[in-house]
A and B are shown apart, each in its own frame.
Chain A
Amino acid sequence: MGDREFADVAIIGGGPAGLAAAAEAKGAGAERVIMIERDERVGGILNQQVHDGFGTKVFKEALTGPEYSAIYEDRVNERGVETWLKSTVTELTNDRVITVRSERGIETIEAGAVVLAMGCRERTRGAIGTPGTRPAGVYTAGAVQYYMNVSNLAVGRKVVILGSGDIGLIMARRMTLEGAEVVCVAEILPQPSGIAGNIVRCLEDFDIPLYLSTTVVEIHGNERVTGVTLAEVGPKMGEKKGTRRYFDCDTLLLSVGLIPETELANALGLAMSPVTNGAIVDESFHTSAPGIFSCGNVLQVHDVVDYATLEAEKTGIAAAKYAMIGELPETNINVTAGAGLRYVLPATISGGDAIDFTMRPWKEEHDKSVVFKSGGEVLRRMKMPHMEPAGMIRIRVGKGRFKHVVNNEILVEVEE
């Protein structure tokens, strides 16, 4: 048993959100910042995302995942964040005592503030109930990305991809470049789940067909996948008769969504959002438990790492302030998602600061506006030439606008 350690701020997770939160917590004056990472390296998903497109908001240029990660890794090292690698948090209590398991054994950290930055894991075959046998050759897209880009392992020669999430699209290109044949991508929804840019650069550039409203109805093969049967689905996701098609393949990749790693948050009994599956937070990314914060993909799934970074930086500063002075701005104004929006974050604000609201629409829309209202008056209207569920929207509202808030309520809606 190790001794009990004390930290001003403890960050759980060393991916893009954890790195940014740790660097800013230290930068804001927290004396001892410990970042706990279960892998042998920091960087999280960025280590395997060797493609470009990261950093266009923060650095105004498109970097690759490892380049983006290296910038923040250097920053946490320069600022003197303590990084605990190969260390897994097994328990977190409401009074911010963290149990960590590593090669050193079991250690406990008592922290002034805790930032939850554990990210997401991939939804697997079991979670979507794919019918058929259970042969080898069925992988999640992110697992294959790790094998190819980090471990130097190839997984198959002829591939069908189920789900048009971004990682699936990126892997369609990656496997094509490495010499595999990507037969097609099937998406159960009538529209792609990944961003439009990836449809162009990962599928159209290589003439890979995308079949919408289509899913896998059977996986064939006993020891190894030998093929899959696809079929079209109707509006209620039922199989359309007479649309079955068989495709030869030795590998099926699943890119069917992400699940926030919220086990620690659930054990704490935090107030959670049934829409994002992340914690409900205020403008400081403070959860319902005092001194416990949440940011990055464990809070809401991001499609742009830059936005996860910006959110985490704000969280790191707030966590440092909480650890040092023990209080945060009171947030009495409730923010609610109205027509057209699945959710808006944060849930409560103080009105004393500009806020970068993040949200997602229910469906694709053109030439609409996102409107912030209070007591029937418009606080801010943002014209949106194009919105889609795959693209998170981020809108800044200046603090001056909050002077006109009535009854401590803000409603955010999509309007003509």
Chain B
Amino acid sequence: MNSTIICTVCPVSCPVDVEWTKEDGVLGIRNHLCKLAGPYVESELFDPRRLLTTSIPVDGGDWPLVSVKTDPPIPKNLMLEAMDEITGVRVKAPIKVGDVLMTDILGTGCNVVATRNVKSA
């Protein structure tokens, strides 16, 4: 099969032409500018995932919110369910970039990780 998949890894958004079959996977790609397109296209065809980013309220911090991401990216179809899990959680300052704030969300093996430093107020 031939498909065009827009690579969303970076803002350049290469429209990657991909030749693939269900049995043998990706056979070849063209029209991409960097190496990140290969793994992205493969994932988009067989296990589409998204880095879910949102924020969580912080008690006692110099920011009212800490921004977070799922690590690794979660299956695309679970984004809204994951938001339901994250909503209602509160955390305490201080928080450092990379701190794990929730583990194994929805049984996916993905953690929710801080992306901002929040100092104690």
* Chain A residues close to B by CB (< 8 Å): 50-53, 56-57, 60, 62-67, 70, 148-152, 166, 174, 177-179, 195-201, 205, 303-304, 385-386, 391
Contact = CB atoms under 8 A, between A and B. Distances in A.
A279 B38 CA distance: 39
20 contacts: A50-B53, A52-B53, A53-B8, A53-B11, A56-B10, A62-B51, A64-B67, A65-B67, A66-B116, A67-B97, A150-B63, A150-B65, A177-B79, A179-B87, A196-B6, A197-B9, A385-B14, A386-B14, A386-B31, A391-B13
A391 B6 CA distance: 14
Contacts of B116: 50, 66-67, 70
A70 B97 contact: yes
Contact of B115 (A66, A201, A385): A66
Contact of B10 (A65, A152, A205, A304): A304
A21 B34 CA distance: 27
Contacts of B83: 177-179
A67 B115 contact: yes
A216 to B, nearest CB: 27
A196 B53 contact: no
A297 to B, nearest CB: 14
Contacts of B87: 179
Nearest to A196: B13
Given A70-B117, A201-B50, A205-B50, A62 B9 contact: yes
Interface of B: 6-15, 31, 34, 36, 50-55, 57, 63-65, 67-69, 76, 79-80, 83, 87, 97, 115-117
B97 to A, nearest CB: 5
A385 B14 CA distance: 9
A50 B51 contact: no
A148 B80 CA distance: 17
Contacts of A195: 11-13
Given A64-B67, A70-B97, A50 B115 contact: yes
B64 A197 contact: no
B65 A149 contact: yes
A197 B13 contact: yes
Given A152-B64, A201-B50, A304 B97 contact: no
A197 B36 contact: no
A197 B51 contact: no
B53 A151 contact: no
Contacts of B52: 177
A65 B76 CA distance: 21
Contacts of A52: 51, 53, 69
Nearest to A307: B11
Given A66-B115, A70-B97, A150-B65, A177 B10 contact: no
Nearest to B64: A152
A50 B6 contact: no
B15 A386 contact: yes
